[in-house]
Amino acid sequence: MIVPEDAAKRLLAGCGLIVPRSQMVERVEAAAAITQDFGGRSVVKALVPTGGRGKAGAVKVCRSVDQARQAATALLGKEVLGHRVDKLLVEELIPISNELYAGVVVNTATDSIDLVLSLTGGVEIEVAAHSDRQVVHQLSIEPGDLLPLHRVNSWLGRHKIELSEYPLLAGTLLNLYRAAADLDAILLEINPLAMDTDGRLVALDAKLEVDDNALPRHPELNELFMASLSSRELRARQLGVSYVPLDGNIAVIASGAGLGMATLDLLQQRDLAPANFLDTGGGISEQMVKGALELVLEPAPVRGAIINLYGGINRMLEAAKGISAALENKPENRPIVVKILGNQQEEAWAMLEPIPNVHVIRVVQTETAVDRLKMILDPG
């Protein structure tokens, strides 16, 4: 999950990093009032879960209460990088002398945890990273390593990083690395990490992505996570499935991500576009499949559905009962092509074949199922 900036900063403050004072607001007047509290200066930021806000004009430096009011008016309700702005983060304006970039990333290409530092922080870091590798320094740490301070020090020394507050930087990087470990972060990025005029290193921004698989050991994040889900995603989660909304008009259910992606590929080869993709994973039950089918058929553009299940462990009669129950509740006139194979396949086919608009495919080739759907929807 991507942790919203205000929550990420609260968590980082708890790990010994310095963050600006801030307040989340939803109204223009509240932004003005907080700016007044901060001495008439503030930074007003759109609270949306994405990078590149600075460039998109969604971070506004305000040097008066009036400017804060204007900034809040301009941002609230607006669309920023695909996200509607409902909340703003108003922060104290920190006078800075230097901007750095610091991050910790789980590097799945090298199987290491990488600490990344650049002395050129700010909005242009991505550009700099691609054009000139010299400015980005990387320390690869073996998974499970606690990372001793002396290693950070010698790394900084090796790169001849000249910064007067050298020990301060080493300590901050260590805190950052340990915060990422404690929070099970896949990515923790501070850009900019600013040296203020009082000689402190302050995290002016924070991008934190926590491993979804680690959420069970972070109960403190549970409420935030639930709030980040759409109502369909929430229902999918309650069913124990994963749901991905897409732009087309064919509903897709598959038992497994790979089988699902292969199904999407075959749809695309036949000019059919998926409206969504639901992965049942293991543990198929009647209730799950019933809920899953109701969920994928819900979006208005859906013209038809394909259900592609393989029952290695799962009893496929359960799946057939689920499909049958969903359609008994709410009969469909849209075609539903079902390919079910494996454990109890014959019983499943026998149950599904009499249902109107359900088309059962009895072969192992998914193409056959996709071709059937294509023939029904776009004959000729």
Catalytic residue numbers, as ranges: 101, 189
Distance CA 225, CA 215 (A): 9
Nearer to other proteins among residue 77 and residue 216 (C-beta) = 216
Distance CA 341, CA 363 (A): 8
Q: Is 367 in the site for other proteins (CB under 8 A)?
A: yes
CB of 143 to other proteins, least distance (A): 4
Nearer to other proteins among residue 73 and residue 140 (C-beta) = 140
Which parts of 306-325 interact with other proteins (CB under 8 A)?
A: 310-313
Q: Is 276 in the site for other proteins (CB under 8 A)?
A: no
What is the H or E stretch that residue 99 is in? strand 96-107
Phi, psi of 108 (to 5 degrees): -80, -10
Q: How many residues bind other proteins (CB under 8 A)?
A: 52
Q: Which of 128, 190, 266, 292 binds other proteins (CB under 8 A)?
A: 266
Binding region for other proteins (CB under 8 A) out of 63-71, 87-95, 110-118, 298-306: 110-118
CB of 135 to other proteins, least distance (A): 18
Distance CA 51, CA 192 (A): 12
Q: Is 279 in the site for other proteins (CB under 8 A)?
A: yes
Cα dist. 61→10, 24, 93, 310, 342 in Å?
A: 21, 16, 7, 55, 61
SS3 241: coil
Which of these, 54, 29, 33, 53, lies nearest to 42 by C-alpha position?
A: 33
Contact 208, 17 (CB under 8 A): no
**Residue 184 zone, left/alpha/beta (φ > 0; ψ -120 to 50; rest):** left
Nearer to other proteins among residue 119 and residue 214 (C-beta) = 214
Nearer to other proteins among residue 34 and residue 186 (C-beta) = 186
Binding residues for other proteins, rule: CB under 8 A, are 106, 108-109, 111-113, 142-144, 181, 184, 186, 211-214, 216-217, 242, 244, 246, 254-262, 264-269, 274, 277, 279, 281-282, 310-313, 341-343, 364-367
